[in-house]
Amino acid sequence: AQSVTQLGSHVSVSEGALVLLRCNYSSSVPPYLFWYVQYPNQGLQLLLKYTSAATLVKGINGFEAEFKKSETSFHLTKPSAHMSDAAEYFCAVTKSGGSYIPTFGRGTSLIVHP
């Protein structure tokens, strides 16, 4: 079975600081990995995804994530936080040849201070 762990239910940064949201997965076969963002009182929006091409994936709004097989990680980063980045972020995993229903992490709330 696959699983996703997001370390830290809340992450707080200052505006302009580096954003790092952690995601570790477990999967018996090569995974597909996703990051979604949820702004207050809205649905989730796909931010970026890893599908076994480049290990460094660039997404919308300046976010990127790097797939590291040796660390079973897919951490989300952004060099400089903006107030508008305040949201809930979810990591999710599916696996090639397996169920297409993703397993979601519990989410990390990003708080951005002025």
Partner 1 sequence: DVKVTQSSRYLVKRTGEKVFLECVQDMDHENMFWYRQDPGLGLRLIYFSYDVKMKEKGDIPEGYSVSREKKERFSLILESASTNQTSMYLCASMPGGSGMANYGYTFGSGTRLTVV
Q: Which of 17, 22, 64, 107 binds partner 1 (CB under 8 A)?
A: 107
Q: Which stretch binds partner 1 (CB under 8 A): 13-21, 46-54, 63-71, 72-80?
A: 46-54
- Applying CB under 8 A, does 101 fall inside the site for partner 1? yes
User: β-pairing, 10-14 with 108-113?
Assistant: parallel
Q: Which of 1, 28, 100, 114 binds partner 1 (CB under 8 A)?
A: 100
Please write down the long-range contacts of 26-32, taking CB distance under 8 Å and 24 or more positions apart.
Answer: 26/2, 26/72, 27/2, 27/72, 27/93, 27/95, 28/2, 28/95, 29/95, 29/96, 29/97, 29/98, 30/95, 30/96, 31/2, 31/93, 31/94, 31/95, 31/96, 32/93, 32/94, 32/95, 32/96
Q: Which of 3, 14, 26, 42 binds partner 1 (CB under 8 A)?
A: 42
Q: Which of 15, 64, 86, 98 binds partner 1 (CB under 8 A)?
A: 98
Instruction: Give whichever of 78 and 89 is closer to partner 1, judged by the CB atom.
Output: 89
Q: Return residues touching partner 1 (CB under 8 A).
A: 9, 32, 34, 36, 41-46, 49, 51-52, 90, 94-102, 104-107
